[in-house]
Amino acid sequence: MDGSTRKRTLLKVILLGDSGVGKTSMMNQYVNKKFSPHYKSTIGADFVTKELQIDDKQVTLQIWDTAGQERFQSLGAAFYRGAECCVLVYDVNVLRSFETLNTWREEFLKQAHPAEPDNFPFILLGNKIDLDGGNSRVVSEWQAKEWCDSRGNIAYLETSAKEGYNVDEAFLCVARTALANE
């Protein structure tokens, strides 16, 4: 089989987390290399795709961006089903966005209903590390890693959607994780 007819693998991943933590910004930085300081809350859910090569595999990463605002959350179980990885995002400067991670994780597991909930691969992103040169952060890297370790094997990365810091790395990690769970 030549390259043009080789099968592409579609990987579905879902971004979840409180309103304003930077889910949409993260996706825009990754796919369009753009950042806007203006906040426009997401309504419902939408996806973008990105073609990637991982080792010798061509994959299409389908990234679903969701609304953090409660009044916009009306995604049913069908939406979550078939996701190979769930990306949880919080803002390192906002304690509440870290405290709600459990709720987001549980909501995902309830809706997606994976075969092995304890082994389902999540990835945690601590965003906005650029803010105030890091002086306004209220959640430490250690606390975040502790949260990940106590819930199984969850990878943790710190990012800045504004500066593009660790964004490619984060989604590469997401893609690899999703591929392993395919």
Where along the sequence are the contacts to Mg ion (CB under 5 A)? 23-24, 42
Q: By C-beta, is 9 or 42 nearer to ligand GTP?
A: 42
Residue nearest to ligand GTP according to CB distances in the complex? 68
| E strand spans, the chain | 9-16, 45-54, 57-66, 85-91, 122-127, 155-158
| Positive or negative: CA dihedral 53, 59, 60, 64 | negative
What residue 111 binds from ligand GTP, Mg ion, none (CB within 5 to 8 A, per partner kind)? none
Q: State which residue, 90 or 120, has the beta carbon closest to ligand GTP.
A: 90
Task: Give Cα separations from 139 to 133, 146, 149, 158 (angstroms).
Answer: 14, 11, 16, 11
Q: Give which of Mg ion, ligand GTP, none residue 130 binds (C-beta under 5 to 8 Å, depending on kind).
A: ligand GTP
SS3 2: coil
Site for ligand GTP, rule CB under 6 A: 19-25, 36-39, 41-42, 67-69, 127-128, 130-131, 160-162
